Structure 1
Amino acid sequence: MSEEARALYADMGATPVINALGPRTLLGGSSPHPDIIAAMELAGRYYVDMDAFLASTGRIVADLLGSEAALITPGCAAALVLGTAACITGSDPEKMARLPDTTGMPNQVVIQKAQRYKYDRMVRLPGVTLVEAGTEQGTTADELAAAIGPQTAALLYPAIDNEAAIVPLDAAIDIAHARDVPVFVDAAFRVYPLDGLTRYIAAGADLVGYGAKYVGAPNSSGILCGRADLIAAAHLHSFACFETRDLEGVGRPLKIDRQEVVGVVLALRRWLAMDHDARNQSDTRRAETVRRHLGELPHVQSSVNGASLTLTLDEQALGQTAAEIEVALRNGNPSVWLSAAPGQLHLYMPTVADGDEELLAARIREVLGLGE
């Protein structure tokens, strides 16, 4: 970590973080490639009609993802808000202006109870009520069908691993489409393997949201793709149309700048063209580098699994728990963020800056009482 970086964050009253936790929003999410940063800087020299720019870049993204249409958004959470609003109002300006008052409009979104998660809060922002199908143990096809009614605006399907006996996506799409209800998939981080960027649309989902930070775009960027009519309605709800067309949609606070839009397009192109085997091998080598710098640690066993380094601890012999070590690492300078579980520390290497492997190892040794 450079002294310039330390000084910059110190000037801001903050502590720089070595991020071995992953592309988390709470840590800033992503570090775009220098080529993308350079293009964003170039874009910032000039201005652009944002309404037209969102339309033109949406066409590029849609072509890359095999979707009818797409809209670049300020994060996947914003995609959930705008997509839900589109399902409620369509492109009707009067209805758009009334949100979150949904009187006389479809104002329910169905979700399987076992799939409830904190981000469904975004779907409720435009004024809908969530209707739960089934139980925390699972949902039957009949229960899902029964939950859909005349007031259903959409079926929300988070693409998150789930051990409950839920209705799988293909069957859920069939059930919803038989009742003329669109299916909205939250696929925020499903960008690798690469088929995660196309399989939900290919399966028949009407809307899909992604966090563009996962493909190396800026943290505050996302993608909404899907049916052309719904993407057009989501676009009308955007901040750009609020200004250029005097449409009072819900998206005025959800602003994204031209530089970030450029970043999304270029990062997505780069991600789709990347040699991911080489990327994964590089991350594995860097995990091995940290392991080498750690050396032999008493009461600690280390193992590398792909892009991650796991430290298995004898907590009793160390006199510290994994949770206590995690807190101590976070409280240092530089701060180190990683994932802790009982008896284990997990380090995710893709978000550790090149060249910080030795410093990361030194901080761990320091907290373990082994010096640098």
Structure 2
Amino acid sequence: MKRRDILKHLSAIPLVGAIPHEDFLKKLKPRGGTLAETIEAGEKIYDSIGVDTIINCRGTFTILGGSVERPEVSTAMEAATGYFVQYDELAYGIGQRLADLTECEWGMVSAGCAAGLKHFTAACVTGGNPEKLIRIPDLTGFEKTEVIIPRQSRNAYDHAVRNIGITVITVETPEELAAAINQRTAMIYIVTGPSNDKGQPLSLEVIAEIAKPHGIPILADAAAEDLTIPPVHLARGATVVAYSGGKAICGPQCAGLLLGKKDILMAAWQASSPHHGPGRDNKVGKEEMMGMLAAVEAWIARDHKAEWQQWLSWLDHIDQKLTTISGVSSEITQPKGLSNHAPVLHIKWDADKLNLTGEEVAEEVARNKPRLAIGSRTNDNMTSINITPNQMQPGNAEVVAERLHGILSRSNKAKPAALKAAQANLTGHWDLEINYFTENSHHKLFIHQDGNWINGTHQTDFSSVELIGMIEGDDIKMKSNFRKPGDNIAFLFTGKASDDKLTGSILLGEYLTAKFTAKRMEYSHNKKPIFIPGGPPLAT
């Protein structure tokens, strides 16, 4: 197996980098000036605390800042500050205006889309009864305690649903859905997408047909979708549809939008801040509430066709620059659904001919100025990077084109055909100590080494998962994934190895980093003979 292939399996390193967290913090060097001195200077406000800005060619990822707020949003938020209002009155005024704008019964602004999912779930469990609300997450004695989620809708965001204390019932077919509905069913939650499009076995239409006779509300999570007016998923059978404010709608990053049935949204508002209870920790300010309303108004007035043409012109500029390089080709793909609705430019080449993979390009531009966030992929010998333009800003395309042209057009040395010989034999059983921020956790590694390649098992706190990796000289890289429905934690190990000790850092993806030390477990040499009786015991 080639080095490139094994590195692909060990995963490209995300933007935070495979360095210990405290070392990462040391790299943040303020470059002068207080906020008051730099606030008028654009990106220098981040520079003043040692943080680089990044050209966003990935889309509306929260970890990059989501979307750029529309000017109308910033203006509304600024206008809303400096005054005081009663929040229930504010919510009612916004709720009615959103209803008028979007042609639905009612609207609500939450502290992000995930908070909206949580508040809706609370509403379905309590029915607006405050005595029940303040008991959450202890649902003892509640009539409604279960939420049905189709398997293909299980995702990391359903933590917001589970935070209420409900029991998730996972189904895969219409028959399973029908059988799962009972007197304890509080709601059905889906993430809108291909698995529940019209015509699919468990489409939203099918779900609604099964659920509505029982009076079961349906929540459609359309966080990254374009807003449709009236909301298309309500017409398809959803009770309420939830959007992120900080994605396609380009509202406040910390706001969410719920549209649909008024009675259940009133119960959801009761479950949210400023009202005490399990939603008090999801505070949305008056500025974000007015900013979200302004974003919806702006959405209706925006020239979406002109925006699309602007995006295509940026991609065309980058495309024209990069495809002048021998061996580089391109393709622009168009989105098929409402979610993450933007064209994407794919730049492709033969990794063996350029001695470079898409993952390596993405890593280089992620770490070095001017920093870019781009996607990457490698299949067999063909590799690629991809560029999504919907959060790029004027002037970005020229920077991106020059940056990528410089990398793809340079001469890259061919990588050695063979890896350096391993300096240690790691086959065996290892006691692994992981040092998290305030806790040390004890895991186990069961390793089989074949030359440079590592395979085995990583026994975590709660599971046993496959381990793969490589050793080159005394450098090790290993990867395991802890998975459960809706969640995934990648353990990416990098460090040094000897015959009896492993040390280094673990990149935990979005969960930051940890340090590790592993020591070979020594077995006692007990050479006593083992007696096995010839039948069942005669005494116990």
The normalised TM-score by structure 2 is: 0.63
> Contact 1:17–1:334 at 8 Å: present in 2 too?
yes
2:403 counterpart letter in structure 1: R
Shift of 1:102: 0.8
- Comparing 91-100 and 177-186, the one that deviates more: 177-186
Q: In 2, Cα distance between the equivalents of 1:363 and 1:119?
A: 35
Q: Residues 151-177 of structure 1: CA distance to partner in whole angstroms, max 9, x if unpaired?
A: 110011210223996411111112111
Q: SS at the partner of 2:331?
A: strand
Shift of 1:290: 2.4
Q: SS at the partner of 1:208?
A: strand
Q: Residues 287-337 of structure 1: CA distance to partner in whole angstroms, max 9, x if unpaired?
A: 112234446123311334463322012211111111111111111123211
Aligned twin of 2:49: 12
Q: In 2, Cα distance between the equivalents of 1:305 and 1:229?
A: 41
* Structure 1, gaps ≥5 residues long: 243-247
Q: Return the match for 1:329 from 325, 349, 365.
A: 365
Q: In 2, Cα distance between the equivalents of 1:221 and 1:173?
A: 28
Aligned twin of 1:174: 209
Q: SS at the partner of 1:53?
A: helix
The normalised TM-score by structure 1 is: 0.90
Aligned twin of 2:97: 60
> Contact 2:273–2:281 at 8 Å: present in 1 too?
yes
Residue 82 (1) aligns with residue 82 (2) = no
Aligned twin of 1:364: 404
Residue 250 (1) aligns with residue 287 (2) = no
Q: With a CA cutoff of 8 Å and minimum separation of 6, indicate the structure with the bigger relative contact order.
A: 1
1:180 counterpart letter in structure 2: G
Residue 155 (1) aligns with residue 188 (2) = yes
Q: SS at the partner of 2:195?
A: coil
Shift of 1:236: 0.7
Aligned twin of 2:254: 220
Aligned twin of 1:230: 264
Q: In 2, Cα distance between the equivalents of 1:119 and 1:336?
A: 26
1:1-372 aligned within 5 A: 4-105=41-142, 106-134=144-172, 139=173, 141-162=174-195, 166-191=201-226, 194=228, 198-213=231-246, 214-240=248-274, 242=275, 248-294=276-322, 296-305=324-333, 307-342=343-378, 343-368=383-408, 370=410
Q: In 2, Cα distance between the equivalents of 1:47 and 1:340?
A: 48
- Report sequence identity in percent: 30
Q: SS at the partner of 1:95?
A: helix
Q: Which has the higher helix share?
A: 1
Shift of 1:239: 0.8
2:94 counterpart letter in structure 1: T
* Structure 2, gaps ≥5 residues long: 1-39, 335-342, 412-540
Q: In 2, Cα distance between the equivalents of 1:232 and 1:11?
A: 43
Q: In 1, Cα distance between the equivalents of 2:298 and 2:208?
A: 31
- Comparing 161-170 and 359-368, the one that deviates more: 161-170
1:333 counterpart letter in structure 2: K
Q: SS at the partner of 2:68?
A: coil
Q: Which entry has the higher C-alpha Rg, 1 or 2?
A: 2
RMSD: 2.1
Q: Residues 65-103 of structure 1: CA distance to partner in whole angstroms, max 9, x if unpaired?
A: 222111101111111000000000011110000000111
> Contact 1:300–1:313 at 8 Å: present in 2 too?
yes
Aligned pairs, number = 356
Q: Residues 233-261 of structure 1: CA distance to partner in whole angstroms, max 9, x if unpaired?
A: 11111112x2xxxxx33211111122221
> Contact 2:147–2:167 at 8 Å: present in 1 too?
yes
Q: 1:288–1:159: structure 2 CA closer, same or farther, 3 Å change rule?
A: same
1:367 counterpart letter in structure 2: I
Q: Residues 21-72 of structure 1: CA distance to partner in whole angstroms, max 9, x if unpaired?
A: 0011111101112232123212223232222212211111122222211110
> Contact 1:112–1:166 at 8 Å: present in 2 too?
no
